[in-house]
Structure 1
Amino acid sequence: MTFPAVVHSLRAGLCQVWPVIVLEELGSSLFDTALQMVVLDRSATDPDSHSQQIAMTNFYMIYNLIVKFTPILPALFLARLGDRGWRRLPVIVPLVGYLVSRLALMLVVIFGLPIEVMYGAGALFGLSGGYAAYWPGVMTLASLASTASKRSKTLMLVELLYGIAGLVGSLVSGHLFQLYTASLGHGIILLIISTIVGVLCLLHATLLLQVTDVSNREEEDESCGLIPPSVHSEPPIQKNLPNIILLFISAILYSSAVGGAINVLGAFVMKEPLSWDAKQVGYGNAAGCLIFITSYLGLIVLRRYFSETSVIMIGMLSFTSGIYFMSFVTTTYFFYLARSLNLLALIPMPTIRSLLSQQVPKSSCGMTLTALQVFLKFGAAAYIPASTKIYQSTLDWFPGFVFTLSSACSVLAMIPISIVGCRTQNLQYETIQGD
């Protein structure tokens, strides 16, 4: 490849959604560590106290409910605009909300404001569409830029970039948090860097991000005679409602299993016997981000030998085994051992989204993926308070009990996926018989 060709490829890549994914997650991973440590500092003075665990989990329960529920209507509105041609809006508007959240936490640290200020910041973040608008917007842009046969691989590439950026950010976040100056204090340098990265991400999405529609380009090429039409042309995609419902049920159950466990994991690692500090929190978050990379590599290998539904079930089994083992973790070494069993745990959700995008016409892709995200938010209404209260009530006799329940919920999520797999095989068989 010549140098001008390399320059052209780099320029084309900069105009795609990939840099946005990297910059946003890099800034978010820094913000997550900062928020976790600030909440720990404000919760109680005794790091081993029962009251500190209660205060931390109560804060995250309220904060997560606000962040997950306020975006529902704005996300649907942005998705509708996206399907009408404004494809970048579901990405750009939430990035403003991300930036506001980081600025709010910086003000909390600098001026010593109560941590409850972050409830208001979370509400503003939700009104911008939040993650419920941002992530389907990113997935929609990636889906439009890929063919149906390569879509699951492309969406998993999104997860890979997300994971690499999170891994890098998490590894350095603990060290950056501990940087201290007399005038700034702990955490300010970390939040300044996170905010700068957020500004760069917003500028890129606003000024450079372009929308690429591969399917439209293929249709134009075929109509001009550049691509010879196939003998058996594929009919337009029609909605497969039973498969859509089953995929939604599986996604909600699996998301609830993962979300319920992650909801209390941050508090779990800060209590005895683990008692993590800022550096260990960063390393623990990095271990979670590493799963994005291993899940991507696993998907590349598994999709050669298994169907998409089988690959989803393998990923769910990976999460089930790892989170069940987490129930009995008492040392940092065993924590990482449990996480190592989750190496394929992030395969299910992007693959489910890939299957969903193949069950509906292209004009409904953005709304369908956003509708899934909204239903996941309603699932959060159950698992966030449930996992918090279960963790608090079992804190003294079995703190890992909530992880055991999460593993059981993950097993239930395999049932609808297995039905989709059977339906797909029957449909393929009927198609062959018809031909």
Structure 2
Amino acid sequence: MECLASLRTRVHPVVVSAQIASALYDTGLQMVVKERCSDNSTATEEDRQKAISNFYMTYTMLSSLLPFVPAYFLTRYGDRGFRKVPIGIPLLGYLISRTLLLLVILLELPIEVMFGGAVVYGLCGGYSSYWAGVMALESASSQKERRSLCIMGIELAYGIAGFVGSLSSGHIFQIHAIGNKNGVVLVAFCIFLYFLCIIYTFFILVIPGTSAGNVEHRQEGNVGILWNIVEYPRSCNIVIVLLFISAILYDIAVAGGMEMLMSFIMKEPLNWGADQVGYSNAAGFVIFFTSFFGVWLFSKFVADAAMIMIGMVSFAAGIYFMSFVTATYLFYLARSLTLFALIPMPTIRSLLSKQVQPSSYGKILISLQLSFTLASLIYSPIYTKVYQSTLSWFPGFVFLLSSIITVLAIIPISMVGWRMARQEGYVSIEGD
């Protein structure tokens, strides 16, 4: 019973179930988009690639732009003690949008209907609100010394779920259910998992240290005056700015490269089907395992800033190699070089949470997430156009671009490491 009670205070079941559902959905959407863009028999391979990449560009921009205002207000509400809200409302949006994909398959609706799905879950806060809410909850319930590892533990649960979901998604997609249509079973199971997540979040999950969902807010009222008169050192603000710059550059490199990878694996010489698409998505989730053990090991010997740089170098090497992939085995070899590519983001979130008071965890983390949103409005069309313009002579050029941007992201984080090491040196001298 104690184990069950302890489980009810953890957000991990939500993260696991939602990510399995998301992995199923990603494969389903990729295959449906590929099928619909390949219906025109007179279209060339380049035309199909442009149609697929244009779809994802529009879909990504809608998904990124619309959550901007709703996510901010949901997170502010969460910081007042209602930690379930910024997690549960986006899950409801996901449920509705995934239902639209099922209707697209069953009723053979145009694939553009999925833009409506992006609008719905965007207005519900989208991934920005959901993930910032999860990270804020974990930050508020963990000790500073172990926070990087705790947050990485959430990422590990996310990765395990994504690996399992992706590995099975290609096979589930091919199961026929109604009218010999592929994907019906897969999307229906995805919808069911999101429904379970919503039930767990609102009716089972217990937020540690709260009563009626609002004790945290009342506690803030008692100490709020003290917090308000505390002024953080200017050096702390500089660290926050540098962390934001590094995180945004790294997000551009990773998200931009991965967005184009979805189109890259659909064309010759790879031209993968549903099984291989599922396997490739699963390979992407392996880095959640390796990155978690990387944090567990490196945290014993190096500072957080050094761990971030190790992760960035790992991704830069892997995505550079991806530029020259022409066969399946080369793809997986390039993936293997990105073993620690996940370390930077959770570690940056951990460092940011250590720079602010507990009542501001949600605000600082949603600010970071919304910065990624604004960046995506710029990099998504740029990456798409660069990919389309280089298709005929160097389709892997966008991955080379990601590698260069990652190297640029290392510069501000190295400055953070230098500043924090100097501050620790001052503290040590004063202690002596």
TM-score range, shorter chain: over 0.9
- Which of 133, 139, 145 is residue 143 of structure 1 equivalent to? 139
Q: Which runs of 5+ in 2 are unaligned?
A: 220-228
Distance apart, 1:182 and its partner CA:
5.2
Tell me whether 1:12 sits opposite 2:11 in the alignment: no
Distance apart, 1:208 and its partner CA:
1.0
2:23 corresponds in structure 1 to 29
Paired residue type of 1:8: E
SS of alignment partner, residue 113 of structure 1: coil
Distance apart, 1:185 and its partner CA:
1.2
Task: Map Cα deviations across residues 367-426 of structure 1 (whole Å, 9 max, x no partner).
Answer: 000000001111111211111100000001000000000000000000110001111011
Paired residue type of 2:131: W
Task: Map Cα deviations across residues 236-259 of structure 1 (whole Å, 9 max, x no partner).
Answer: 793621011000000000000001
> Which residues in structure 2 correspond to 1:255-334 (within 5 Å)?
255-334=251-330
Query: Structure 1 runs of 4+ off > 2 angstroms?
Result: 44-48, 181-184, 235-239
- Which of 391, 395, 411 is residue 399 of structure 1 equivalent to? 395
> Which residues in structure 2 correspond to 1:375-386 (within 5 Å)?
375-386=371-382
CA contact (8 A) 1:22 1:161 kept: yes
Task: Map Cα deviations across residues 265-320 of structure 1 (whole Å, 9 max, x no partner).
Answer: 01100100001000000000000011111110111011111100000000000000
C-alpha distance in structure 2 between counterparts of 1:10 and 1:311, whole Å: 34
C-alpha distance in structure 2 between counterparts of 1:14 and 1:324, whole Å: 43
Tell me whether 1:97 sits opposite 2:73 in the alignment: no
Taking structure 1 as the reference length, what is the TM-score of the superposition? 0.92
Distance 1:118 1:420, change over 3 A: same
CA contact (8 A) 1:37 1:278 kept: yes
Paired residue type of 2:281: N
Distance apart, 1:434 and its partner CA:
2.2
1:232 corresponds in structure 2 to none
Distance 1:182 1:355, change over 3 A: closer
Distance apart, 1:11 and its partner CA:
2.8
Q: Which runs of 5+ in 1 are unaligned?
A: 1-6, 221-234
Tell me whether 1:39 sits opposite 2:33 in the alignment: yes
C-alpha distance in structure 1 between counterparts of 2:86 and 2:316, whole Å: 32
How many correspondences in the alignment? Answer: 412
Paired residue type of 1:279: D
- Which of 208, 212, 215 is residue 208 of structure 2 equivalent to? 212
Tell me whether 1:129 sits opposite 2:125 in the alignment: yes
1:119 corresponds in structure 2 to 115
Percent identical pairs in the alignment equals: 48
CA contact (8 A) 1:144 1:213 kept: no
1:228 corresponds in structure 2 to none
1:423 corresponds in structure 2 to 419
Task: Map Cα deviations across residues 340-389 of structure 1 (whole Å, 9 max, x no partner).
Answer: 00010000000000000000111111100000000111111121111110
- Calculate the aligned-residue CA RMSD, in Å: 1.7
2:199 corresponds in structure 1 to 203
1:223 corresponds in structure 2 to none
Paired residue type of 1:169: G
CA contact (8 A) 2:140 2:361 kept: no
Distance apart, 1:183 and its partner CA:
2.6
CA contact (8 A) 1:110 1:184 kept: no
Distance apart, 1:211 and its partner CA:
1.5
SS of alignment partner, residue 391 of structure 1: helix
1:65 corresponds in structure 2 to 61
